[in-house]
Amino acid sequence: VILTEKGAESTPEALQAAQRELASPVGGEEVLWCGRGATALYWAYRVVRAEGDVGDSPEIILPAIACASPVNTAIMAGLTPRFADIDPATGMLTLQTVRARRTPQTRAVLFIHLFGQTADLSELRQWCRRHKITLVEDLAQALGARLPCGDPAGSMGEMSIYSFTGTKILQCGGGALLVRDGRLTEVLKSLLADYRPPPPAPAERRMQLFDTYRNLHRSLVGLKRLLAVADISAAFLPLRPAYDCLYILPLNNADALAEAWRGLPSILQQRLVKAELYEELLARKPFWALLSGWRTSGVCWRYSLLFGVPDQLVPFSEAVRRDGFHVSNLYWELSSFYRPDDACPEAEKFSRSIVNLWVDDMVDLETVRRCCESMIRHGASFYEQASATGPHP
Ligand SMILES: Cc1ncc(COP(=O)(O)O)c(C=O)c1O
């Protein structure tokens, strides 16, 4: 099925091959193509929501390290987000952290395959089944990834979602929801039978709105970094609904997606070559720990490491940026935006040390090499200053 400006229609011929390649390896029963990953998440959540009584307040457990889209769309679909802490080595959920957040209202868990990494989800899946909780896998950053057991990511959850927008592995635009469970497929079909597409907000207005969102988010994270006690949720939550119109989009470019899909194997390969080079050049330094999950999964979305001088993370990243390289510190711990009571201390530490480096078409191997020189020069300098003035970082 595809969501276009006109409504829900049959998957066009152009996308049939991609649909087969997405669905067959994981036993998918239905694929819903749509305008972005957030729209796919929204529909996954609608399916989860449709199962409960209107009166109850169903909850979904999300990782505290992620972007805001998986949370905003959960709220839009009528699910209450709860935040679980993360494995400090990967930034991803664990069975233990999810367990700690379960309540009688828990209906779903969103497992995000962060930065292209994967994890062994067999125990989490069993636990979810035992408690009648729907497991959704978010593969926005891990298209094409393998689980540690060798099976494809997306083969554990009842549903999985994909994104092909802006910064992702395929950047042609679009998103997809895949449903593996027959009963949930029927629920999705019945929801789509009544579907009337919302009038799309003009693209120009969406871009302006998105700019204000980015600025708002940056300011609140900046404040929280400096002033840990600030309650940024009090400022953020009342403004959040202003951004709802950004998340529900139709897919208008099925042909471009079909074309991009054919290039996926070579794109994944080129990313791995850059990840290898980062690892070779950045390994064995005392001032960071490299995340190496991309090796097992076969997918590197951003090359990521944890910087060992957390209180100097921002000046360190700015110094590398001033040398002309893309470097970001993606994601602030999410409970502080939505539900400060769900404190996630490991996630907060993770946000204070994460560094993400580019492996896409924006960089070639020579840029990677020079970026590593800059990283090492500034990393050593901040590390030495910290060692000279305080306890060993
Ligand atoms: C983990 C994750 N899930 C979902 C999304 C939403 O995807 P999209 O931007 O295509 O809506 C993103 C986007 O950054 C993401 O990082």
- Would you say the CB of residue 28 lies under 6 angstroms from ligand 1? no
pTM here? 0.97
67 alpha carbon to ligand 1 midpoint, in Å?
Answer: 7
pLDDT tens across 43-89, in order? 999 999 998 776 689 999 999 999 999 999 999 999 999 999 999 99
3-state secondary structure the chain: CEECCCCEECCCHHHHHHHHHHHHHHCCCEEEEECCHHHHHHHHHHHHHHCCCCCCCCEEEEECCCCCHHHHHHHHCCCEEEEECCCCCCCCCCHHHHHCCCCCCEEEEEEECHHHCCCCCHHHHHHHHHCCCEEEEECCCCCCCECCCCCECCCCCCEEEEECCCCCCCCCCCEEEEECCHHHHHHHHHHHHCCCCCCCCCHHHHHHHHHHHHHHHHHHHHHHHHCCCCCCHHHHHHHHHHHHHHCCCCCCCHHHHHHHHHCHHHHHHHHHHHHHHHHHHHCCCCCEEECCHHHHHCCCCEEEEEECCHHHHHHHHHHHHHCCCCEECCCCCCHHHHCCCCCCHHHHHHHCCEEEEECCCCCCHHHHHHHHHHHHHHHHHHHHHHHHHCCCC
- Would you say the CB of residue 175 lies under 6 angstroms from ligand 1? yes
Mean pLDDT calculated for residue range 265-286: 98
pLDDT tens across 100-140, in order? 999 999 999 999 999 999 999 999 999 999 999 999 999 99
Q: Ligand 1 pocket test: which of 141, 163, 332 has the largest number of ligand atoms within 8 Å of its C-beta?
A: 163
Q: Measured from the CA of 114, which atom of ligand 1 is nearest?
A: 1
Whether residue 377 is predicted with pLDDT greater than 70 in this model: the reply is yes
168 alpha carbon to ligand 1 midpoint, in Å?
Answer: 8
pLDDT tens across 152-179, in order? 999 999 999 999 999 999 999 999 999 9
pLDDT tens across 173-223, in order? 999 999 999 999 999 999 999 888 888 789 899 999 999 999 999 999 999
- Would you say the CB of residue 70 lies under 6 angstroms from ligand 1? yes
Q: Ligand 1 pocket test: which of 32, 67, 328 has the largest number of ligand atoms within 8 Å of its C-beta?
A: 67
The reported pLDDT for the residue numbered 197 is 87
- Would you say the CB of residue 138 lies under 6 angstroms from ligand 1? yes
169 alpha carbon to ligand 1 midpoint, in Å?
Answer: 11
Q: Ligand 1 pocket test: which of 36, 41, 69, 334 has the largest number of ligand atoms within 8 Å of its C-beta?
A: 69
Q: Measured from the CA of 247, which atom of ligand 1 is nearest?
A: 11
- Would you say the CB of residue 152 lies under 6 angstroms from ligand 1? no
